[in-house]
Structure 1
Amino acid sequence: MKIIVIGGGAAGFFAAISAKEHNPEAEVTILEKTSKFLGKVKISGGGRCNVTNATFNSRLLSENYPRGEKFLRKAFEVFNASSMVEWLETRGVALKTYHDNCIFPLSNDSQTIIDCFMSEARRLHINLHSSQSVEEIKPTAKGFRIHCRDTEYDADRVIVTTGGQPKMSGLHWLADIGHEIIPPVPSLFTFNMPQEPIRDLMGIVVEKARVRIEGQKLLGQGPLLVTHWGMSGPAILQLSAWGARILAEKEYRCAILVNWLDEIKEEELRAQISQVMKEHGAKMMANLNPFAMPNRLWVYLLEKNEIKTSLRWNELGGKALNKLINTLINDRYVVQGKTTFKEEFVTAGGVDLQDISVQTMESKKCPGLFFAGEVMDIDGITGGFNFQAAWTTGFIAGKSAASSPASPE
Structure 2
Amino acid sequence: MSKKKRIIIIGGGAAGFFTAANLDEEKFYVTILEQNSDVLQKVKISGGGRCNVTHACFDPRELTQFYPRGNRELLSVFTKFQPGDTMDWFESRNVPLKIEKDNRIFPESDSSQSIMNALINEVRNKNFEVKNQVSVTEIIKENETYLIKTKQGDFIADIVIYTTGSSPKSLKIIENLGHKIVEQVPSLFTFNIKNNLLKDLPGTSFENAEIRIPSLKTEESGPLLITHWGLSGPAVLKISAWEARTLAKLKYQFEIEVNFISKPISDAEEELKEFKNQNPKRSIGQSKIFDVTNRFWSKILEINQINPEKQIANLSGKEMALILENLCQKKLLVTGKSTFKDEFVTAGGVDLKEVNFKNMSSKILPDFYISGEVLDIDAVTGGFNFQACWSEAWLISQHLNAL
- TM-score normalised according to structure 2 size: 0.95
Please give the alpha-carbon distance, in whole angstroms, between the structure 1 residues aligned to 2:343 and 2:393.
19
Contact 2:284-2:312 at 8 Å conserved across structures: yes
| SS in structure 1 at match of 2:183 | strand
Alignment of 1:201-350 (within 5 A): 201-262=201-262, 264-350=263-349
Instruction: Report the alpha carbon displacement of residue 162 of structure 1 after superposing the two structures with TM.
Output: 0.7
Contact 2:32-2:130 at 8 Å conserved across structures: yes
- TM-score normalised according to structure 1 size: 0.94
Instruction: Report the alpha carbon displacement of residue 302 of structure 1 after superposing the two structures with TM.
Output: 2.2
Contact 2:197-2:303 at 8 Å conserved across structures: no
Cα displacement string for residues 347-371 of structure 1 (whole angstroms, at most 9, x for unaligned residues): 0000011000110100111121111
Map of 1:150 onto structure 2 = 152
| SS in structure 2 at match of 1:387 | helix
Contact 2:197-2:300 at 8 Å conserved across structures: no
Contact 1:15-1:394 at 8 Å conserved across structures: yes
Please give the alpha-carbon distance, in whole angstroms, between the structure 2 residues aligned to 1:112 and 1:33.
23
Q: Does 1:8 align with 2:12?
A: yes
Please give the alpha-carbon distance, in whole angstroms, between the structure 2 residues aligned to 1:199 and 1:48.
31
Map of 1:181 onto structure 2 = 181
Contact 2:195-2:332 at 8 Å conserved across structures: no
Amino acid at match of 1:138: I
Map of 1:171 onto structure 2 = 171
| SS in structure 2 at match of 1:30 | strand
Structure-2 change in CA distance of 1:137 and 1:123 (3 Å) = same
Contact 2:164-2:170 at 8 Å conserved across structures: no
Please give the alpha-carbon distance, in whole angstroms, between the structure 2 residues aligned to 1:37 and 1:227.
32
Alignment of 1:125-164 (within 5 A): 125-164=127-166
Alignment of 1:86-97 (within 5 A): 86-97=88-99
Q: Does 1:58 align with 2:57?
A: no
Instruction: Report the alpha carbon displacement of residue 57 of structure 1 after superposing the two structures with TM.
Output: 0.9
Please give the alpha-carbon distance, in whole angstroms, between the structure 2 residues aligned to 1:194 and 1:318.
28
| SS in structure 2 at match of 1:63 | helix
After the TM superposition, which of the residue ranges 349-358 and 234-243 deviates more from structure 2? 234-243
Map of 2:81 onto structure 1 = 79
Cα RMSD for the two superposed structures? 1.5
Structure-2 change in CA distance of 1:24 and 1:314 (3 Å) = farther
Please give the alpha-carbon distance, in whole angstroms, between the structure 1 residues aligned to 2:159 and 2:311.
74
Cα displacement string for residues 17-39 of structure 1 (whole angstroms, at most 9, x for unaligned residues): 1223xx63211111101111001
> 4+ residue runs of structure 1 moved beyond 3 angstroms?
194-197
Amino acid at match of 1:51: V
Instruction: Report the alpha carbon displacement of residue 220 of structure 1 after superposing the two structures with TM.
Output: 2.9
Identity among equivalent positions (%) equals: 41
Map of 2:382 onto structure 1 = 383
Please give the alpha-carbon distance, in whole angstroms, between the structure 2 residues aligned to 1:246 and 1:204.
28
| SS in structure 2 at match of 1:225 | strand
Instruction: Report the alpha carbon displacement of residue 244 of structure 1 after superposing the two structures with TM.
Output: 1.0
Map of 1:19 onto structure 2 = 23
Instruction: Report the alpha carbon displacement of residue 188 of structure 1 after superposing the two structures with TM.
Output: 1.0
Contact 1:3-1:402 at 8 Å conserved across structures: no
Map of 2:352 onto structure 1 = 353
Please give the alpha-carbon distance, in whole angstroms, between the structure 1 residues aligned to 2:218 and 2:166.
23
Map of 2:112 onto structure 1 = 110
Cα displacement string for residues 68-111 of structure 1 (whole angstroms, at most 9, x for unaligned residues): 11111111001001110111111111111111111111111111
Contact 1:196-1:333 at 8 Å conserved across structures: no
Please give the alpha-carbon distance, in whole angstroms, between the structure 2 residues aligned to 1:401 and 1:39.
26
Cα displacement string for residues 301-336 of structure 1 (whole angstroms, at most 9, x for unaligned residues): 222333221222222222222222222111122222
Matched residue pairs, number?
A: 399
Q: Point out where structure 2 has 5 or more consecutive residues left out of the alignment.
A: none
Contact 1:42-1:114 at 8 Å conserved across structures: yes
Alignment of 1:189-204 (within 5 A): 189-194=189-194, 196=196, 198-204=198-204
Please give the alpha-carbon distance, in whole angstroms, between the structure 1 residues aligned to 2:200 and 2:13.
38
